[in-house]
Amino acid sequence: MGELSIMNIMKTIVPITRFNQNEASKIFDEVEASGIKIVIKNNSPACVLMSPEQYESLMEMLSDYILQEEAEKRMASHNPDECLSQEELMQELGISQADLDAVDVEIE
């Protein structure tokens, strides 16, 4: 995202009037070149424009963070006495190693 400074923030601000003056295409080019733009309407932020790649990256980071938080919660409440070994679980489910070996798994 780059260094946070007043000048960098000022460069990202776009008044809504630029959209009303048919400058949307130019603004989108600026987003592609510089990263993000904050659209201001009535002196308040109305939306943030960013590339689809940046949006996808942010959503992946958010998803990773949520998963990490969930994992940490589960680890905090982990009780080793309530756990089963892989062999015990397979026996309980009636699965053999040969059954697992026969399954074709595709990982993305």
- How do residues 60-81 score in pLDDT, each as one tens digit? 999 999 999 999 999 999 888 8
* Phi and psi, residue 106, nearest 5°: -115, 125
Q: What distance in Å separates the CA atoms of residue 58 and residue 34, rounded to the nearest whole number?
A: 16
pTM (predicted TM-score): 0.60
Q: What distance in Å separates the CA atoms of residue 36 and residue 50, rounded to the nearest whole number?
A: 5
pLDDT for the residue 8: 77
Give the rounded percent of residues in the chain with a pLDDT score beyond 90: 63
Where does the chain hold its CATH 3.40.1620 domain(s)?
6-52
CATH fold for the domain made of 6-52: YefM-like fold (3.40.1620)
Answer for the pair 17, 35: CB distance below 8 angstroms, yes or no.
no
Residue 35: DSSP 8-state: S
